[in-house]
Amino acid sequence: MAYPTIDQAPLPQAPAERAAPEEVIRADIAIIGSGMGGGTMAYALKDSGAKVLVIERGHRLPAEPQNSDLDEVYLKGRYKNADTWYNGRIGAAFKPGVYYWVGGNTKVYGACLPRFRASDFEETQHQDGTSPAWPFSYDDLEPYYTRAEELFQVHGQTGEDPTEPPHSKAYPYPALDHEPAIQDLADSFRRQGLHPFRMPNGLDADTPEKRALCATSDGAPNEAGLKADAEKVAIDPAIAAGATLLTDTKVTRLIPGPGGRTIVAALAENNGRVIRIEADKFILAAGAVNSAALLLRSATPESPRGLANSSGLLGRNYMVHNSTFFIGINPFRVNRTLWQKTLGLNDWYEAGPTNKYPLGNLQMLGKLRASMLKMARSWAPNPILKAMSDRSIDIYLTTEDLPRRDNGISVIDGKIHVWWEPNNLGPHQELVRRVSKAVRKAGYPVIFSERMGIETNSHQCGTAVAGKDPRTSVLTPDCRAHDLDNLWIVDSSFFPSSAALNPALTIAANALRVADTILAAGHSPARTQATGSDHRSASET
């Protein structure tokens, strides 16, 4: 059913009583979600002495030949396992760009790991309004960016991008060099007075042999294990240090204790069984939509709008970037690049002499192939798509979308509905225009571009914004719920603004920052598991 505005959607319903759980699991700290935020948090807590439990609704994604089979990945959707979501305004169903695997979306991300610019943490004027300041500064997060770059093995180089913020340490690995076609593009941009740079990346692809093994890894898994994903660099070391991973387990509800200031348990489903998970601290990292949806689903008669929602802002201010896939084609030049995602351009990222307002970022896509284009243009003959992709350079353009109360998510009859009306589109169109001009000058006269819609939401954020005032935010500056003393959110839900860059490294850096506040406060010792059962029966062993 469609609702014209999110304010007209019904409130979440307090769930009916469920049957008694078949198992009770006890931990000091329960982390819900194993992606960039949850995985990094587990890693940060692994030596704390706390009994850490990571709960993941998916399981391990297999390393198999199909990881790089483009027909399997793109046409058959082999690794897409998200629930169906709905466009709230029109009621149309869609499959979102989220993935439920150990490691979350990092299993298929392009490992592009830039820092946000210092200005992204400050109040910034855009054409369509103001991007709000964050409740902490770039300088506050900088030491954690450095730690996150070390953890996720980032390859990069300072000094190439004029907008690069200060670094207290150099990147841990040298930047990945461009292959010939991309080097030619960078050289042309530079002759045009622009400042292309080598994009920070968490991919171990510094030789031609490794690049051949990574050629399809933007949007797909990497069978060779050369991608710095959260499973590899964070979850596995946490398990080796004593953390427990509970897979195939979907948390359906959080249960508040007497007085409503703490969460005492989470109810979860595991292979048809109901599990009760008790912990002293709960950390949500299920993604900006699913974390908000869980708190909404956990509504009680005392909290009819959902838990942690005294501000009324839970699920609001949903942002997902204005993004365009951009293809430049030279009919007479074959592009033999294996790993294309090495070039970035931020000349118009901030307001400047030629642009009154920020426009956004250019970065390369992983090399597009015919199967990827077929997914978007199923009617087109394969030989034509192959001829196009063989001769194309492929670019991803992002412009900041601004937080709006009317953009958000709600849970209706148990299903997730998304309201998202893009804003700040004028600067995005100008970015596309300027890039079109630069790419044509670089020798690619044929241009195709397509702006992404509601289903392309890998950069989702903002549904539980952090701030100092509980009337205008859901979380404290340390990402603890204003309304709850033992619940933190460490995915991108907390973002007060979306910036115009990939959010992954910022999520990881913030998780390390929040972990420090939790560690400084100490933890309670684990109590005896209520049933005495061995929870490894439902977890990693």
Integer Cα distance of 48 and 242 in angstroms: 10
For residue 211, pLDDT over 80 is answered with: yes
Integer Cα distance of 213 and 482 in angstroms: 46
Lowest mean pLDDT among 66-70, 270-274, 413-417, 522-526: 522-526
Sign of the C-alpha dihedral computed for residues 452, 398, 135 and 508 taken in this order:
positive
pLDDT at res. 18: 65
SS3 state at 307:
coil
Across the range 163-177, mean pLDDT stands at: 98
Beta strand 93-94 with 85-87: parallel, antiparallel or unpaired?
antiparallel
For residue 396, pLDDT over 60 is answered with: yes
What's the distance, CA 122 to chain centroid?
A: 21
Beta strand 343-345 with 361-364: parallel, antiparallel or unpaired?
antiparallel
Whole-angstrom CA distances from 361 to 196, 197, 318, 445 are 11, 12, 20, 21
Q: How many CB atoms lie within 10 A of CB 159?
A: 9
pLDDT at res. 172: 98
SS3 state at 475:
strand
% pLDDT > 70, the chain? 96
Whole-angstrom CA distances from 111 to 153, 402, 452 are 10, 25, 20
C-beta separation of 460 from 319 below 8 A: yes
Angle (nearest 5°) at CA 496 between 122 and 95: 135
What pLDDT band is residue 377 in, cutting at 50, 70 and 90? confident
Integer Cα distance of 473 and 464 in angstroms: 7
For residue 185, pLDDT over 60 is answered with: yes
For residue 231, pLDDT over 70 is answered with: yes
Q: How many CB atoms lie within 10 A of CB 430?
A: 17
Residue 101 has φ and ψ, to the nearest 5°, of -140, 160
Which fold is adopted by the domain 6-538? FAD/NAD(P)-binding domain (3.50.50)
pLDDT digits (tens, 9 = 90+) for 3-48: 889 999 998 877 766 668 899 999 999 999 999 999 999 999 999 9
Integer Cα distance of 59 and 46 in angstroms: 20
pLDDT at res. 447: 96
What's the distance, CA 39 to chain centroid?
A: 12
pLDDT digits (tens, 9 = 90+) for 496-508: 999 999 999 999 9
Tokens for 492? 């991108």
Q: Residue 37: enclosing H or E segment and its boundaries?
A: helix 36-45
Integer Cα distance of 256 and 253 in angstroms: 10
Q: Residue 383: enclosing H or E segment and its boundaries?
A: helix 382-390
The CB-side HSE value for 134 (13 A sphere, CA atoms) comes to: 26
pLDDT at res. 12: 82
54-69 in b/e form (b: 16+ CB < 10 A) is bbbbbeebeeeebbbb
pLDDT digits (tens, 9 = 90+) for 92-125: 999 999 999 999 999 999 999 999 999 999 999 9
In the sheet that holds 446-451, the strands lie side by side as 197-198, 343-345, 361-364, 392-399, 322-329, 446-451
For residue 289, pLDDT over 90 is answered with: yes
Whole-angstrom CA distances from 450 to 73, 186, 274, 447 are 21, 23, 44, 10
Across the range 278-294, mean pLDDT stands at: 98
pLDDT digits (tens, 9 = 90+) for 306-356: 999 999 999 999 999 999 999 999 999 999 999 999 999 999 999 999 999
pLDDT at res. 538: 41
For residue 157, pLDDT over 60 is answered with: yes
C-beta separation of 156 from 165 below 8 A: no
pLDDT at res. 314: 98
pLDDT at res. 539: 40
Q: Residue 348: enclosing H or E segment and its boundaries?
A: none
Q: What is the pTM of this model?
A: 0.95
Read off the amino acid at residue 268.
A
Integer Cα distance of 129 and 52 in angstroms: 42
What pLDDT band is residue 375 in, cutting at 50, 70 and 90? confident
Tokens for 55? 């709960």
pLDDT at res. 342: 98
Mean residue pLDDT across the chain: 93
User: What burial class does residue 471 get, using C-beta atoms within 10 Å of its C-beta: 0-12 exposed, 13-18 middle, 19+ buried?
Assistant: exposed
What's the distance, CA 365 to chain centroid?
A: 16
Per domain, the residue ranges of the chain are 6-538
Beta strand 415-419 with 85-87: parallel, antiparallel or unpaired?
parallel
